[in-house]
Chains A and B, each alone.
Chain A
Amino acid sequence: MTVPTAGEVAAQGPDPALSGLQPRLLDFTRALRRAGVPVAVSDGLDAVRAVTHIDLLSRRQLHEALAATMVKSAGHRPAFDTLFDVYFPPRVGAGGPDADVAPRDVGDLLAELVQRLLDGDDTDLRRLAHEAVESFGRVEGRDGSPEYFTYRVFRSINLAGVLRRALGAAAVDEGTVDHRLLRDELELRLRHLREEIEAEVRRRMVERRGHEDMARRLVRALPEDVDFFRVTADEQAEMRRAVRPLARRLATRLAVKRRRAKRGRLDARRTLRAALGTGGVPIAPAWRSRRVTRPELLLLCDVSGSVAAFAKFTLMFCHALQGQFARVRSFAFIDTVDEVTALFEEGDFTDAMQRLNTEADLVWLDGHSDYGHAFERFHAGWADAVTPRTTVLVLGDARNNYRAANDWVLADLRRRGRRLYWLNPEPAATWNSGDSIARQYGRHCDDMVECRTLRQLAAFVERIA
């Protein structure tokens, strides 16, 4: 996409008084595009038109007006919000303390924090966030990431401890509905506090380093693009929410694809038969409809520590897509294997994950991945599950802890099944390094595919469905 220059847009701009704002909006638009938010040229023009109608002194209105014109999907909103803070930071001192407030004593600050948490006043919490950053996370010098400075703040303020103290200070009996509610609310407020502190650190860094530099550092990947290996707990929750919509979107695309694929070659016999009615002129050609078969899917997943996140999301995704396959069966293994299909069929994935760890029988010796043994057990117990209609997906990093490979099992599964794929969550460059025997296993597969993000996963599933 070509980005119009400031001059081009300014030429169409409605109001010369906005001249200071327009370059900033253009920079902002460019930063959004870099972050993966698709802002069309017409969206940018709409944004410029929109800001002429609102009260520019209200940051909230500007925020909402830009969001309405530039963000077209809820998934892009977090990136937008972060960048908005960078390009249109709140004024220093707006409702907050002066910049040169004296550093506070930790105990003092904590006591006030607990009190304010219980009062539930957001403005006070915001002020405290500023003070906390001022006292413990001062942004100095040119080095250090935002994470480093927030880490320094949280080293002094332990949020879990604050929560405990606040709960203790509140005069609510444990075990009642009210206690439960209070706990939820305090947790939520602490989350706000945390976000406020992060935002404050960012704001200070922008002041020091300018927004171009910060914009590049800050933007986090969309849930579809998060690397399975580096996923944090927060991101896992986001990704869990992203799985179903992603599956749904893929399902509609597949339905269209199947409908089109159904129309096959010209059916000469039926066309000629129909032509008799029109004096032998074939006016309405008849088509032979093709039978589109849905494959059966069999998942064989390594769920040991290192690749657990990847296995989880693949299991969720494939079961969310159940309707697109004739059947989905899943097996999980660490050093021995067990069937886990039933856990996922009910559709409650959080529950399924917990039961996977407690109910399924996955550990034989020491709980380190042993592909060879797991494959052998699978072959002994369930080899019949693989029929000529089955597509087998093996999930794992092929890091076998230097144990026996037993790759003859894969060779046999490939012979029995329709296709055999291996999804590997490691970057392809690191395959075969250390104890990875990706090549040895890959020889027996139709394809070994690098699969590091939900997006890559969806693309792969579309290919085989």
Chain B
Amino acid sequence: MSAFTSPGEVAKRLADVGYLPDESIATVAFLAERLGKPVLVEGPAGVGKTELAKAISQVLDARLVRLQCYEGLDEAKALYEWNYSKQLLRIQADAGRGWDEAHDDIFGPDFLLTRPLLEAISADAATVLLVDEIDKVDFEFEALLLEILSDFQVTIPELGTVAAVRRPYVVLTSNNTRELSEALKRRCLYLHMDYPDVDRERDIVRTRVPGVSEHLADQLVRIVRSLRQLDLRKPPAVAETLDWAQALLELGFDTVDDTAARTTLSVLLKHRSDLTKGLAHLEVPADPSAG
């Protein structure tokens, strides 16, 4: 599909696939495509960082290649690996050939197992590369990413340099559990994604949970926003707002009263101490039937 023409147009196209961006998200998404730079999205868990990458891939009609990061992730899992057993078979299949011949043969593309990063680089169709939770990997791995992010190429010693046929659209997400290196940040556009404002969150609820009435959507979003002001161990994320809306809908509440809050607030607040604090904040009286 065609490239982006303006931030406004990006916003509209994202909205069409069910992702409602605010102005800063749309502008950065637009610039990333224009400047050909990766986007680093940072922010609390559950505000829609990963969803953004998915939505962009849908809008650009591109394949989404996802690399989920974790501690101890290494080159073999992220970039490429030689298919060792296949190489062995090849050698055994015709023993007696010269070394040079065999060497040239077994280090060819046929024996290469591509992992997400190499796959995204070497694809000739439009691709969105999502590197999820980049803050989980070690410093060493971060350094490995630098070549890919700035030049869109990978160097494989036996084969040479594989340059991207077509630059993938790269999205990195981070929950900010540690500071990323300056070198990495410099290669990216930075987008800090925070909880959406009330109007946007209400629209998100109404898009994602279509059965919710306008009144209920408005009320629950206001409650969520009010709860986020508290000092909680885990503030409710957008995903949890949606779960809550779904729960209220299934249980047939069309307004949030004391009973509704008491029975369903645990969908939103997932620590016991948070729950107590939340109920106290909303001034919900203790369950009368409990005594």
Is there a chain A Cβ closer than 8 Å to B281's Cβ?
yes
Among candidates B37, B222, B261, B283, residue contacting A185 with C-beta atoms closer than 8 Å: B222
Among candidates A53, A77, A175, residue contacting B283 with C-beta atoms closer than 8 Å: A175
Interface residues of B in 175-192 (CB under 8 A from A): 176-179, 182, 185-186, 189-192
Bound-state CA distance A245–B182 (Å) is: 17
- B189 cross-chain contacts in A, Cβ below 8 A: 46, 68-69
Among candidates B30, B182, B225, B233, residue contacting A184 with C-beta atoms closer than 8 Å: B225
Is there a chain A Cβ closer than 8 Å to B27's Cβ?
yes
Interface residues of B in 56-78 (CB under 8 A from A): none
B189, closest chain A residue (CB): A68
Is there a chain B Cβ closer than 8 Å to A248's Cβ?
yes
Please tell me if the beta carbons of A53 and B226 are within 8 angstroms of each other in the complex.
no
Is there a chain B Cβ closer than 8 Å to A235's Cβ?
no
Is there a chain B Cβ closer than 8 Å to A350's Cβ?
yes
Please tell me if the beta carbons of A177 and B261 are within 8 angstroms of each other in the complex.
yes
Bound-state CA distance A428–B133 (Å) is: 43
Among candidates B139, B176, B182, B282, residue contacting A177 with C-beta atoms closer than 8 Å: B282
- B31 cross-chain contacts in A, Cβ below 8 A: 50, 53-54, 65, 68-69
Interface residues of B in 274-291 (CB under 8 A from A): 281-284
Please tell me if the beta carbons of B192 and A248 are within 8 angstroms of each other in the complex.
no
Interface residues of B in 221-269 (CB under 8 A from A): 222-223, 225-226, 229, 231, 233, 256-258, 261
Please tell me if the beta carbons of A348 and B223 are within 8 angstroms of each other in the complex.
no
| A52, chain B: closest CB distance, angstroms | 9
Segment among A19-27, A36-44, A276-284 that sits at the interface with chain B: A36-44
Given contacts A40-B182, A181-B219, A184-B226, 19 further A-B contacts (CB under 8 A): A38-B182, A46-B37, A50-B35, A53-B35, A60-B23, A60-B27, A61-B27, A64-B23, A68-B189, A72-B182, A72-B190, A74-B192, A177-B257, A180-B226, A185-B226, A248-B177, A252-B178, A348-B231, A348-B233
20 contacts between A and B (CB under 8 A): A40-B186, A49-B35, A54-B7, A54-B30, A60-B23, A64-B23, A68-B31, A69-B31, A71-B190, A72-B190, A74-B42, A175-B283, A177-B258, A177-B282, A181-B222, A181-B223, A181-B226, A184-B229, A185-B222, A348-B231
Binding site for B on A (CB under 8 A): 38, 40, 42-43, 46, 49-50, 53-55, 60-61, 64-65, 67-69, 71-74, 77, 175-177, 180-181, 184-185, 240, 245, 248-249, 252, 256, 346-350
